[in-house]
Amino acid sequence: MRSDIGHTTRPVIRFGGIVLAGGRSSRMGRPKAWLPVGDRTMLATVAGAVAEGLRGAGSRLATAPQPAGPIVIVGAPGQDLPPAGLPVLRVDDDVEGEGPLRGLAAGLGALTGKADAAYVSSCDVPLLKPAFVARMIALLGDADIAVPLVDDRHHPLAAVYRIGVLETVRDLLARNQRRPFFLFERRPTRVVTATDLLAADPGLDSLRNFNTPEEYDRLLAGGGASSGAGAAAAGSAATSVVFEFYGVARLRSGRERIEVGPAATTLGAALTALERACPSLSGTVLEAGRLGRHFRLSLNGGQFVSAPDQPLAAGDTLVVLSAEVGG
Amino acid sequence: MTAGGYFGRYLRIDVGTGEARFIDIPESILRHYIGGVGLGAWLLLKEAPPGVDPLAPEAPLIFALSPFVGTPLTTSAKFAVVAKSPLTNRINDALSSSHFAIAAKRAGMDALVLVGACREPGVLIIDGDPPAAAGATRSNAGATAPVARMESGADLWGLSAADAQERLKERLRSTHAGGAPFHTAAIGPAGENLVRFATLSNDGRHAGRGGLGAVMGSKRLKAMAVRGRAFVPLADPKTVHAAATDLSARSFGPATEKYRELGTVANLLAFNRLAVLPTRNFQDSTFEAAAALSAEQLAATRQRTRSSCAACTIGCENVYGRRPGAEDPARPGEPPKRGVRLEYESLFALGPLCGIGDPDAVLEAAALCDELGIDTISAGGTIAFAMECAGRGMLDPARFPTAPGAAPVPIEFGNPRSLLELLRLIARRDGIGDLLAEGSRRAAAVIGGDAPSFAPHVKGLEIPGYEPRALQAMALGFAVGTRGADHNRSSAYEADFSEGGNRLAGDADTARRAIVTEDRAALMDSLILCKFLRGVFSDLFEEAAPLLRAVTGWDLSPAELHDAARRIVTARKWFNEREGWTPAEDTLPERFLREPLRDGASAGATLSRQRLSEMIAAYNRERGFSPDGHVPGAMRTGLGLTAR
Ligand code: SF4
């Protein structure tokens, strides 16, 4: 189909959203969907961010303001879920506790005929940013799936799926192949790296979920997201940290130090922000959003750290040096 | 038939009589000790009479090659020089590199053992390509020994090692025209004068630590030259070549980037930031002038050229130009003949350790050490110690005149003149230089009082540039190190600079981690591959086994290589025991166990005697030694380690 001369346009894709709310929340001790985030529930917070993201994606593709696409909430059979705070379609996972593909199948089934693709989210990401949702949608392109690969792991519940993959999902379930990775192997999948997402969510807070009450408290206490429904609800404490560079890291970055923030509450977030600020460090000092194996990070000149969930405090200094110190 | 990569023999030369003969090395020994420091330890146990004076004619000076020398494997052109150290009276092995290694291997040997002593200054010529054979078809070594001949070295005596080698090569070009080129090694004036930390030099590289130059000097052997045409067959040349290509490609990657881009001097600023940079004789761990001495600053302000050992694709050598108007250390009034090769260890020892923050003074001192043939770490450590003694009023000029008959030289931290003058006095053994030429341990014993508590050595070997109180795996490595305070055979700094342990609070796990690095180093140093290549291996033992298999044809497993590494560590330890080692030697000077660090990120760091003892006990346990560190008889028997 052609419109303006010299430009090819693709068929308009209708996007919807799916929020999987049926997990067992066993380590939390209470249903995640009901947890408070500011004055809303977790489910309402996440559903709101997805809806806003869908609107944002639509408005970039169209000239006039767009209504949000349809949103499906997938719960366990008989599960009591709080109101989502906006019009949604509630469906049940037909078999409980079989992992994300089962919920994905239910959600995609419910959207069949109503949307062409959907942003799929878990319901335990209170810092999900609408801009992140919109960015993921924009990155789908010609692929069937767009999924983030951050910190060496895929994030299938922060991903976009065409409704057409339902058939493959069902086939995988029939074969008892329940890992989302099998789906990525079978359908054209665009793997999205941190670099592609940083503009939309500098701290990649949208990917931060929780499984225990402590993680939940920490997330909300130090969430530090600068925008978005989740952040607004959680409140933010600005956390800036300083990276100091020595040797090769200094040569690569072209500077002695840099301050990053305001959401560097964990090492993973700080490295993500660093990669955005100093793209020249990618591939050597930083590898796929993590510290490269030939480098070391000393926290305030003391212990060496590398775990992405290493908590950081405002004003911390991370000294970047080569791992090879033999003389 | 001998395994690929080996000739299965060493060449033993009595430099006093000129007698030279090949002696077979059983294949089982090669398989157990591999080469380099491993084979060197075995040869030392075999050739050194128990209790021998390191400077006596009977004391052997060993050049141990390796199965990889002469193969296309990157960084493999290396050899170990092994002897009983005149500084420590314990085993000493230092690695050196480049063409000398290849030439010696091509003379048809796996090692060279020198015993005896020349009556007059001499030069040893080992000609594995004498005129009759020149142009002949290459062969596997031939059965005959290369021609070994002693010549006079009188015209070279007194010269720097570099000048002596240049002149010797010139001479050989006219006397031995045609055939393969000779490659040389030599000592400088410090070696001639038996300075206990004199170096042995070749191709601009140095077997630096432990006084190997003095051992050569005690034989009145100024220089040696070697050439050959033999080549050693490889069991599986195709696989070796493929592995060499792969290893070279990996050597260009991020694992070696630091060495390629900045060299080892890049450590200085980072170490200063972490407050592990020994300063003013280990009184401080940060240096206020570190930035001026840093690799980053030197790279920005000096002419710098990069160079490498033979057969190396990394090229970590950074050679810096001197300031305009600088003089050649050997030719006052003339501009320097050569740039200065600077390593972190030289930079730290001649800079912060002596309180010197002027980069030109440090470069000049490094050039002077090369010229005189002295180990920069021991020289810097001993001079820094003297500076502290002087500051405490312990060097009474009447008792310790700096240079008899000359104006006294100020001895104080931060004074470049002190440093440069003391280096010259040491090399000549003039005045106080005669005392300092003995190293800090012996000097402290003479100075007396509290001096031994802050003399910066272990077993007599001066401590390199890693602050032990803030790098406690390294502290353990120094304490139990068979050649004394040695970072290379231990490599325990790797454990300190990684996650999982606490560099400020060592424990039993620190000991286990230090053993892992020591075993890896034993293998690297025996194969031999440059330690700067180690980052390219994910699992050294897994990856080295097929490499060595392809070279030798042995059906080797990684576990067998691990056994070999442990055997090598134990053999070195057993040599020390045989020579009188006692558990009391495995410690650090009192200062490190008494004084906390006071500055920077390491402020307050302490290493108590109790903690060090616990780490040592854990080390001994893990190694299978007795609780106080003796090699049990059964272990010795199992490893075939006998008294002689
Ligand atoms: S890395 Fe450096 S020391 Fe090692 S072989 Fe190469 S040039 Fe020589």
Contact B190/B199 with Cβ under 8 angstroms? yes
Q: What angle in degrees, to the nearest 10, is found between the helix axes of B558-578 and B36-47?
A: 40
Cα–Cα distance measured from residue A138 to residue A128, given in angstroms and rounded to the nearest whole number: 16
A295: tokens are: 């480098």
CB distance B294 to B268 below 8 Å: yes
- Structure confidence at residue B242 (pLDDT): 96
**Closest CB from B267, B497, B601 relative to A301:** B601
Rounded distance between C-alpha atoms, residue A225 and residue B562, angstroms: 51
Across the interface, of B255, B343, B534, the residue whose CB is closest to A327 is B343
For residue B155, the model assigns a pLDDT of 97
pLDDT of residue A18: 97
Element (H, E) at B435: helix B432-436
User: Is the distance from CB of A20 to CB of A107 less than 8 angstroms?
Assistant: yes
Report the first-to-last Cα separation within chain A, whole angstroms. 65
Indicate whether residue B76 lines ligand 1 (CB < 6 A): no
Residue with tokens 């302490």: B606
ipTM above threshold 0.90: yes
With a pLDDT cut of 70, the percent of chain B lying above it is 97
Contact: A319, B257; criterion CB under 8 Å: no
pLDDT tens-digit map of B379-395: 999 999 999 999 999 99
CA distance B435 to B440: 9
pLDDT at residue A77, as a whole number:
82
DSSP state, residue B290: H
Q: Which of A244, A250, A303 sits opposite B502 (nearest CB)?
A: A303
pLDDT of residue B331: 79
User: How many residues in chain B?
Assistant: 644
Cα(B315) to centroid of ligand 1, in Å?
5
Most A CBs within 10 Å: which of B95, B258, B285, as the mutation test of the A interface?
Answer: B258
**Which atom of ligand 1 has the smallest separation from the CA of B308?**
7
Q: What is the mean pLDDT of residues B457-484?
A: 98
Q: Write down the CATH number for the domain with range B254-448.
A: 1.10.569.10
Task: Order the strands of the B122-128 sheet from edge to edge.
Answer: B147-152, B122-128, B221-228, B183-186, B200-202, B205-207
**What's the B257 CA to ligand 1 centre distance in angstroms?**
12
* 8 A C-beta contact, residue A267 and residue A297: yes
Q: Looking at residue B248, what is its pLDDT?
A: 93
Q: How far is B486 from chain A (nearest CA, A)?
A: 11
Q: Is the distance from the beta carbon of residue B461 to the nearest atom of ligand 1 less than 6 Å?
A: no
Q: Which residues of B touch A322 (CB under 8 A)?
A: 257-258, 266, 270
Q: How far is CA A37 from the centre of its chain?
A: 18
Spatial neighbors of B580 by CB under 8 A, at least 6 apart, are B51, B89
Q: How many Å apart are CA B497 and CA B77, to the nearest integer? A: 28
B203 in ligand 1 pocket by Cβ < 6 Å?
no
Task: Output the pLDDT for position A229.
Answer: 33
Which CATH number is associated with domain B468-639? 1.10.599.10
Residue B153 near residue B222 (C-beta atoms within 8 A): yes
Please check whether residue B409 is in contact with residue B353, taking contact to mean a CB–CB distance below 8 angstroms: no
Best probe residue, ligand 1, of B319, B530, B531, B534 (max atoms within 8 Å of C-beta): B530
Angle between the B359-372 and B161-175 helix axes, to the nearest 10 degrees? Answer: 40
Can you spell out the DSSP letters for B504-522? TS--HHHHHHHHHHHHHHH
327 residues of chain A, pLDDT tens digit each: 333 333 334 467 899 999 999 876 777 777 888 888 887 889 999 999 999 888 877 654 444 445 668 999 998 888 888 888 888 899 988 776 677 899 999 999 999 999 999 999 999 999 998 889 988 998 898 889 999 987 768 899 999 999 999 999 999 999 888 889 889 989 999 888 776 777 777 778 899 888 888 778 877 775 433 333 333 333 334 788 999 999 999 999 989 999 998 888 999 999 999 999 999 999 889 998 899 999 999 999 998 999 999 999 988 999 999 998 877
Q: Which residues in chain B have Cβ-Cβ distances shorter than 8 Å to A327?
A: 264, 267, 343-345, 348, 464-465, 487
Q: B396: how many CB neighbours lie within 10 A of its CB?
A: 10
pLDDT at B1: 60
Distance CA A92, CA A119 (A): 18
**Pairwise CA distance, residues B623 & A113, whole Å:** 70
Q: Identify whether the C-beta of residue B149 lies closer than 8 Å to the C-beta of residue B176.
A: no
Of B191, B206, B90, B201, the residue nearest B461 (C-alpha):
B90
DSSP B485: S
pLDDT digits (tens, 9 = 90+) for B391-431: 999 999 989 998 888 888 899 999 999 999 999 999 999 99
pLDDT at B101 over 90: yes
- Residue B644 — pLDDT band, cuts 50, 70, 90? low
CATH code matching the domain that covers A15-233, chosen among 3.30.70.3460, 3.40.50.2000, 3.20.20.80, 3.90.550.10: 3.90.550.10
Closest residue to atom 8 of ligand 1, CA basis: B309
Size of interface A-B (CB pairs under 8 A): 95
Distance between CA A297 and CA A284 in Å, rounded? 14
Q: What are phi and psi of A87, to 5 degrees?
A: -65, 125
Residue B586's pLDDT is what? Answer: 98
Asked if the bond preceding A262 is cis, omega within 30° of 0, the reply is: yes
Name, in order, each residue with C-beta under 8 angstroms of B354's C-beta and a sequence gap of 6 or more: B280, B380, B383, B384, B387, B413, B414, B418, B419
Six-digit token string for B573: 């330890």
| Cross-chain residue pair B266–A248, CB shorter than 8 Å | yes
pLDDT surpassing 70 at residue B106: yes
Q: What digits encode the pLDDT tens for the residues B156-185?
A: 999 999 999 999 999 999 998 888 899 999
Residues of A in contact with B274 (CB under 8 A): 298, 301, 319, 321
Chain B partners of A246 at a C-beta cutoff of 8 Å? 266, 269-270, 273
pLDDT-derived band at B144 (thresholds 50, 70, 90) equals low
Q: B16 near B116, Cβ under 8 Å?
A: yes
| Contact status, residue A256 vs residue A245, Cβ threshold 8 Å | yes
Give me the CATH code for the B9-233 domain, please.
Answer: 3.60.9.10
H runs (alpha helix) in B488-602 = 493-496, 508-527, 540-552, 558-578, 590-594
For the segment A90-107, what is each residue's pLDDT rounded down to a tens digit? 998 877 667 789 999 999
**Distance (Å) from the C-alpha of residue B254 to the closest C-alpha of chain A?**
6
Residue B548 main-chain phi, psi, to 5 deg = -70, -30
> What's the rounded Cα separation, in Å, for the pair B80 and B37?
6
Q: Distance of alpha carbon B190 from its chain centroid, rounded?
A: 16
> What is the model's pLDDT at position A9?
43
Q: A301 contacts in B (CB within 8 Å)?
A: 273-275, 600-602
Measure CB to CB from residue B535 to each of A246, A306, A323 and give the nearest one.
Answer: A323
Q: What is the mean pLDDT of chain A?
A: 83
Tell me how far the alpha carbon of residue B535 lies from the centroid of ligand 1, in angstroms.
Answer: 13
pLDDT band per the 50, 70, 90 thresholds, residue B328: confident
How far apart CA B604 and CA B469 sit, in angstroms, is 10
d(CA B74, ligand 1 centre) in Å: 9
Total-model pTM: 0.77
Identify the pLDDT of residue B643.
56
For atom 2 of ligand 1, which residue has the closest CA? Answer: B316
Ligand 1 atom nearest residue B307's Cα: 7
Q: Does domain A241-326 have CATH number 3.10.20.30?
A: yes
Buried b (16+ CB within 10 A) or exposed e, B74-92: bbbbbbbbbbbbbbbbbbb
For the Cβ of B65 lying below 6 angstroms from any atom of ligand 1, the answer is: no
B300: confidence class by pLDDT, cuts 50, 70, 90: confident
- Tokens at residue B70, please? 């002469």
SS (H, E, C) B162-210: HHHHHHHHHHHHHHCCCCCCCEEEECCHHHHCCCCCECEEECCEEECCC
Q: Is the pLDDT of residue B377 over 70?
A: yes
Question: B345 and A327 in contact by Cβ < 8 A?
Answer: yes
Band of pLDDT at residue B367, cut at 50, 70 and 90: very high
The vertex-B224 CA angle with B220 and B229, nearest 5°, equals 155
Tell me how far the alpha carbon of residue B174 lies from the centroid of ligand 1, in angstroms: 32
Of residues B157 and B641, the one with the higher pLDDT is: B157
Ranges in chain A annotated CATH 3.10.20.30: 241-326
In the structure encoding, which two tokens stand for residue A102, read together?
């089962």
Q: Looking at this protein, which amino acid is placed at residue B146? A: P
Q: Contacts by B18-25 with C-beta closer than 8 Å and gap 24+?
A: B18/B148, B18/B149, B18/B150, B20/B126, B20/B145, B20/B146, B20/B148, B21/B145, B22/B108, B22/B109, B22/B145, B25/B110, B25/B111
Does the Cβ of B259 fall within 6 Å of ligand 1?
yes
Q: Which residues pair with residue A298 across a beta bridge? A: A304, A319
When CB atoms are compared, the residue of A251, A302, A324 closest to B259 is: A324
**Residues of A in Cβ contact (< 8 Å) with B602:** 301
Is the CB of residue B566 less than 8 Å from the CB of residue B28?
Answer: no
Distance of CA A254 to the CA centre of its chain: 30
Per domain, the residue ranges of chain B are 9-233, 254-448, 468-639
